């Protein structure tokens, strides 16, 4: 955690710290249709056959053009007990499931500053990226390929492709994974 805090401080970003029951290396980020929070949690609990700690990540408030387009998804952080994984076939009603690594706020709206912030922040996530790869089926036995993707809310002066390139550069600096935009193990 100290390492992650330092890598954020050097970029001017602030870590988004989940509640204590979710502070774990076995956390997942689930995307679902915004407005269906109760249904998303119910589907998760039904699929797992028990309840687990969850946190609904609130959308940014009072920011121009927030919650439009692809960024208009609900985000649910989930912590699973040791030894348990998200079912490989997925969870009905959940758009996508990711192993959760880290989250920050305070990204600049200006392209040059934001790209530098993203690259430096992600480059400092090496140990957390390796830990998260263990949550992916087969992640412990392969040198994974990855694809960086980005969806952002609000006004900004850079594209998702700009952000993806910066994140990809940071991942490549942090771990020895190979980028592949079409055939990837980790996104």
pLDDT number for residue 42? 93
pLDDT number for residue 185? 76
pLDDT number for residue 5? 44
Q: With a cut of 50, which residues of the chain have pLDDT below it?
A: 1-8
Decide: pTM greater than 0.75. Answer: no
pLDDT number for residue 39? 92
pLDDT number for residue 8? 47
pLDDT number for residue 142? 67
pLDDT number for residue 87? 83
pLDDT number for residue 2? 38
Give the integer Cα–Cα distance in Å for 187 and 167: 11
Nearest to 94 by CA among 42, 59, 27: 42
Give the integer Cα–Cα distance in Å for 177 and 121: 17
pLDDT number for residue 7? 47
Give the integer Cα–Cα distance in Å for 24 and 27: 6
pLDDT number for residue 3? 41
Pull the structure tokens for residue 58: 């609130």
């Amino acid at each position: 955690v100290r390492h992650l805090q330092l890598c954020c401080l050097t970029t001017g970003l602030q870590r988004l710290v989940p509640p204590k029951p979710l502070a774990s290396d076995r956390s997942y980020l689930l995307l679902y249709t915004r407005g269906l929070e109760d249904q998303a949690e119910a589907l998760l609990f039904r699929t797992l056959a028990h309840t687990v700690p969850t946190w609904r990540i609130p959308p940014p408030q009072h920011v121009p053009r927030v919650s439009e387009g692809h960024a208009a998804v609900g985000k649910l952080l989930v912590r699973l007990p040791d030894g348990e994984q998200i079912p490989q076939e997925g969870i009905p009603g959940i758009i996508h499931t990711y192993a959760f690594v880290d989250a920050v706020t305070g990204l600049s709206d200006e392209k040059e500053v934001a790209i530098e912030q993203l690259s430096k922040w992600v480059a400092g996530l090496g140990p957390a990226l390796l830990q998260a790869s263990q949550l992916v089926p087969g992640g412990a036995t392969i040198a994974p390929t990855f694809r960086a993707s980005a969806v952002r809310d609000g006004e900004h002066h850079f594209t998702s492709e700009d952000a993806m390139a910066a994140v990809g550069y940071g991942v490549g600096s942090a771990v020895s994974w190979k980028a592949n935009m079409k055939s990837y193990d980790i996104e």
